[in-house]
Structure 1
Amino acid sequence: MAQTHKQKRLSAWSTPILLIAILIVFTFLVTLFGDKSLARMAAQTLIRVTFVVGLWIFVGNSGVVSFGHAAYMAIGAYCSAWLTLRPQMKGLFLPDLWPFLANAEWHVFPAAVVSGLLAAIVALISGAAILRLTGIAASIATFAFLAIVYTIYSSWEGVTGATSSVVGLTRYADQWVTLAWASATVLAAACYANSSSGLALRATREDEVAADASGINMYRHRLIALVVSAFFTGVAGALFGHSLGVLNPNSFYLGVTFITLAMLVVGGIGSLTGAVTGVLVLSIIIEALVRAERGVAFGETTFALPTGAQEIIIGIIMILVLILRPAGLTGGRELRLRLGKR
């Protein structure tokens, strides 16, 4: 017998629950059987989950590839630094901060929330212009936005430290804190995907003309998705800074843009499951490659990959996935429970 409407809805909501369960198991296994290096890897992986799933909220539902989300990550990261660094440190590294920021010393959690909100506000302003474009023009405009933000943050010495690193951030974003945020992001992504706005946006992704004829306001729904997406991307930036304890504008430019889009493409841009799968698979591969570049001992012989092999191998993996599995490893399908008899 076919599934009832209620069973289908319950089946759809099983996706975020299963994905969160996978993230919990991953974190526990790394913590129980790994060392401190693997625990840091787990935290970085979960920050990537927050970023990539946040990116998926916009890209996966709209079909517009964004090269500019690293800019929202930078905005969130530096906002959290402005709010949480000790005033003495800000006086040393960021002497031109406005007085209310120079004297602020917030707790890290509200700072992360405000950082996400600031990124969302910037997304609302930038998206109001960018999202009037469609197709490749919109994607190019997002890259132009990234270049603008990068130039500002790498030049505004008294406020961002320019190309000098900002140090002294509290390193509170361990694997448990990042697990909580990654889980919240997965749940929020599922909520948006199953909302009326998410359904309408995916309709425009499949057929813009038909959606427009049905009265769907594509511009409005894309803007909503971008704002929600930017919030979690900004939070990911705050977590990134409080994971490493150091900020530099170069951390939020082409490198992170390439690797996060690679994760989304490898996993499957058409599903939330694909976004999480891509992060986990490529993060494990990256960790293995990093260790291989440092050298792996086989008896009396040490084998080491040449420097830069990591990017080359990831590029090859991305090409192979696009050739063999154009829809990604998950094929655009969601992980979910089947309820009821068929």
Structure 2
Amino acid sequence: MMDAHRQNRLRALTTPVVLIAILLIFVLIVTATGDKSLARMAAQTLIRVIFVVGLWIFVGNSGVVSFGHAGFMAIGAYCSAWLTLRPQMKGMFLPDLPPWLASAEWPHLPATVVSGVLAALIALFVGAAILRLSGIAASIATFAFLAIVNTVYSNWEGVTGATSSVVGLDRYADEWVTLAWASVAVFVATLHANSASGLALRATREDEVAAAASGVNMYRHRLLSLVISGFFTGVSGVLLGHSLGVLNPNSFYLGITFITLAMLVVGGIGSLSGAVIGVLVLSVLIEGLVRFERGVDIGGASFALPSGAQEILIGIIMILVLIIRPSGLTGGRELRLPVLGWRVRHSKQEPQSTN
């Protein structure tokens, strides 16, 4: 019979099964309604899941809060536009692209992977400098990176369209495509968190001095997690562009930065389950409040929230959650299959055989 340590590791690997099942149920419920606006909401919720899971791979394991991940999202989104837009559209909106890129028209999957890889390479380059810092200094440096990306993409008119929107992207990123990528992100995040590098990184999060004294190379493990994180946030940018069909640099700036960080904190920054649950809970709340702002008929009477009430109520809800549960909705714990947990508990209670 397996020892308790190995069984605990197997239990940890059931977390993605539980989370993917929750996401699948969410999609099936939305699909059953037949509401196209809900289907679009589901797709964008799953894109946020990919983003927040990517963010958690770095922030949750390292303890360094990053304000710059929306920059990787923008890099992935625009790279996909360069690779997949029809040449005629690129000639109209992006006239300064090099000829080999202006004529490119890649299939969606290779373009998504390459865009994610480009974001990961930028993360490697940026992380090589930023991750020599720690604490608030590293967080401020990530914000500086976001500001640089936004400034470049908002002014590079012939290549990114600047502040004018780039339109014409194929809107193929529906709830099923985004579910597939969210499942991959959750699975990879679990593998990384339970790898030797992930465990060493969490040791540095708890006590940098003790980890360094034990021979843990904090810089190397943080850099690896940032590269993996950059790939999935880049992919989320690709999918957002191909969900909306339009790109604008402001879509990848402060708004999405703070709402995704809020989702991570509300769900519980200490666990992957918290990252996923936080996105689902706040996304459903936001959708409900948006509909109430538009007006809802109840019993023949129409009720509507004042314009702007959504942001105020979401802020109040987040404050209340953090006051009542400072460690987030999941309390920093992972969701796991109870059957394997039962086996672990009872394996420890088995009486020793007597001869």
Does the pair score TM above 0.5? yes
CA distance in 2: counterparts of 1:34 and 1:143, whole angstroms: 40
5+ residue gaps, structure 1, are none
Partner in structure 2 of residue 80 of structure 1: 80
5+ residue gaps, structure 2, are 349-355
Report Cα offsets for 1:2-52 as digits up to 9, x if no partner.
972221111111111111111111111110124111111110111111000
| In the alignment, structure 1 residue 210 sits paired with structure 2 residue 175 | no
1:302 Cα deviation after fit:
2.2
Partner in structure 2 of residue 221 of structure 1: 221
CA distance in 2: counterparts of 1:115 and 1:306, whole angstroms: 40
Partner in structure 2 of residue 108 of structure 1: 108
CA distance in 2: counterparts of 1:298 and 1:97, whole angstroms: 53
Q: Secondary structure at the match of 2:216?
A: coil
| In the alignment, structure 1 residue 65 sits paired with structure 2 residue 75 | no
CA distance in 1: counterparts of 2:68 and 2:191, whole angstroms: 23
Moved over 3 A (4+): none
Report Cα offsets for 1:29-77 as digits up to 9, x if no partner.
1101241111111101111110000000000000000000000000000
Q: In the alignment, residue 237 of structure 2 is paired with which amino acid?
A: G
| In the alignment, structure 1 residue 143 sits paired with structure 2 residue 173 | no
RMSD: 1.3
1:322 Cα deviation after fit:
1.6
CA distance in 2: counterparts of 1:289 and 1:264, whole angstroms: 20
Partner in structure 2 of residue 244 of structure 1: 244
Total equivalences in the alignment: 342
Alignment of 1:31-42 (within 5 A): 31-42=31-42
CA distance in 2: counterparts of 1:89 and 1:145, whole angstroms: 29
1:298 Cα deviation after fit:
2.8
Q: Secondary structure at the match of 1:104?
A: coil
Q: In the alignment, residue 314 of structure 1 is paired with which amino acid?
A: I
CA distance in 2: counterparts of 1:205 and 1:85, whole angstroms: 42
Q: Secondary structure at the match of 1:328?
A: coil
1:100 Cα deviation after fit:
1.2
1:299 Cα deviation after fit:
4.0
CA distance in 2: counterparts of 1:307 and 1:123, whole angstroms: 38
Task: Report which of the two structures shows the higher radius of gyration computed on alpha carbons.
Answer: 2
Alignment of 1:268-283 (within 5 A): 268-283=268-283
CA distance in 2: counterparts of 1:197 and 1:147, whole angstroms: 30
Partner in structure 1 of residue 321 of structure 2: 321
Partner in structure 2 of residue 125 of structure 1: 125
Q: Secondary structure at the match of 1:56?
A: helix
Q: In the alignment, residue 242 of structure 1 is paired with which amino acid?
A: H
Report Cα offsets for 1:88-129 as digits up to 9, x if no partner.
000000000111110000011110000100000000011111
CA distance in 1: counterparts of 2:244 and 2:231, whole angstroms: 21
1:305 Cα deviation after fit:
1.6
Partner in structure 1 of residue 231 of structure 2: 231
Q: In the alignment, residue 138 of structure 1 is paired with which amino acid?
A: A
Q: Secondary structure at the match of 1:154?
A: helix
Partner in structure 1 of residue 188 of structure 2: 188
Q: Secondary structure at the match of 1:302?
A: strand
1:306 Cα deviation after fit:
2.1
Task: State the identity as a percent.
Answer: 77
1:251 Cα deviation after fit:
0.4
